[in-house]
């Protein structure tokens, strides 16, 4: 691993950092307001899942920030071509990470909760080891730079989300498993990747630069910062509160997904990997 480029100038770093802080503070305030006002419960009853709040927090909030900042369309990190490449990388990473999810029943059988420090430590170690194997597996594949996204691609993603919301809401009373699957794959996996790896990691790259190289991929401190924030997001926004060990293994997974985003220049591959490791949770819940 070696240094590649100099960090961006102060004229780019300061506005980007101020914007990121403002978005994160707004995220927490709006998210807690949604929960305290009963908006989350209303969605659960009427739609089957928190489709609307996730769309507003993970998609609309960062999109508005990007539009206000006037950054290029490549800042959206939405894959618009070579989708086969992105899908294959995401499937590989997700498949390598998937066995690590078996640590959940293992820790439970040992009497360790995933949100306890010992249980979270085991999970974080397992996901970190599986993640390194996954990153080594994709290391020889070409790295792609972020590409500009056209209006047709934005409409395609928006259409998929709208269709998912419509179908999920219509069938949730008769087919809750289908609603849960749509919600997890589109409104959790895809939108969390858009917010944390697409927007947040991208803007933090504007702050810190991509000054390092590992596994034939350039990245910067923003990858680690976004990964840590992804981990902290889970206990901070939890309805129970105080589940800080949760941040250990979610942060480890967030850093893995961040590397996939740096490798592919977009969030499509990391969204697929994210969705794959959430599927057992969907099946168990169903």
Q: Is residue 31 part of a domain?
A: yes
Which pLDDT tens digits describe the chain residue by residue (286 residues)? 444 555 666 667 889 999 999 999 999 999 999 999 999 999 999 999 999 999 999 999 999 999 999 888 788 899 988 999 999 999 999 999 999 999 999 999 999 999 999 999 999 999 999 999 999 999 999 999 988 888 888 899 999 999 999 999 999 999 999 999 999 999 999 999 999 999 999 999 999 999 999 999 999 999 999 999 999 999 999 887 779 999 999 999 999 999 999 999 999 999 999 999 999 988 776 5
Assess if residue 15 is contained within a domain. Answer: yes
Could you give the CA distance from residue 255 to residue 243 in angstroms, rounded to a whole number?
Answer: 20
**Domains: count for the chain:** 1
Q: Note whether residue 5 is domain-resident.
A: no
Domain-located, residue 3: no
Report if residue 54 sits inside a domain: yes
Question: E-strand spans in 135-250?
Answer: 212-214, 217-219
3-class SS of residue 130: helix
Q: Is there a domain that residue 4 lies in?
A: no
Tell me the whole-structure pTM to 2 decimals. 0.95
Residue 217, C-beta contacts closer than 8 angstroms, at least 6 positions apart: 139, 143, 259, 262, 263
Is residue 85 situated within a structural domain?
yes
Which residue intervals of 37-150 are DSSP H helices? 39-46, 51-54, 61-69, 83-97, 103-109, 117-138
What is the number of other CB atoms lying within 10 angstroms of the CB of residue 221? Answer: 16
Q: List, in order, residues 6 or more apart from 136 with CB less than 8 Å away.
A: 215
Classify residue 50: in a domain, yes or no.
yes
- Segments forming the whole domain that contains residue 165: 10-285
């Amino acid at each position: 691993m070696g240094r590649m480029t100099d960090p961006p100038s102060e004229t780019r770093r300061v506005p980007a950092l101020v914007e990121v802080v403002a978005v994160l503070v707004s995220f927490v305030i709006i998210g807690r307001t949604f929960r305290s006002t009963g908006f989350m419960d209303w969605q659960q009853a009427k739609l089957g899942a928190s489709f609307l709040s996730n769309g507003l927090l993970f998609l609309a909030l960062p999109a508005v920030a990007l539009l206000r900042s006037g950054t290029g369309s490549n800042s959206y990190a939405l894959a618009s071509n070579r989708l086969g490449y992105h899908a294959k990388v995401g499937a590989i990473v997700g498949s390598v990470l998937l066995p690590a999810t078996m640590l959940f029943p293992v820790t439970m059988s040992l009497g360790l909760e995933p949100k306890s420090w010992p249980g979270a430590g085991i999970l974080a170690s397992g996901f970190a080891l599986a993640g390194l194997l996954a990153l080594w597996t994709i290391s020889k594949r070409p790295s792609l730079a972020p590409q500009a996204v056209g209006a047709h691609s934005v409409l395609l993603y928006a259409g998929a989300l709208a269709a998912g919301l419509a179908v999920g809401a219509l069938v949730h009373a008769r087919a809750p498993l289908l609603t849960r699957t749509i919600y997890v794959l589109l409104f959790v996996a895809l939108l969390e990747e858009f917010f944390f790896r697409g927007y947040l990691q991208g803007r933090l790259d504007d702050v810190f630069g991509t000054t390092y190289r590992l596994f034939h991929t350039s990245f910067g401190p923003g990858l680690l910062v976004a990964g840590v924030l992804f981990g902290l997001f889970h206990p901070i926004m939890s309805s129970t509160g105080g589940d800080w060990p949760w941040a250990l293994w979610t942060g480890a997974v967030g850093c893995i997904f961040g590397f996939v985003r740096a490798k592919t220049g977009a969030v499509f591959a990391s969204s697929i990997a994210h969705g794959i490791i959430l599927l057992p949770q969907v099946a168990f819940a169903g």
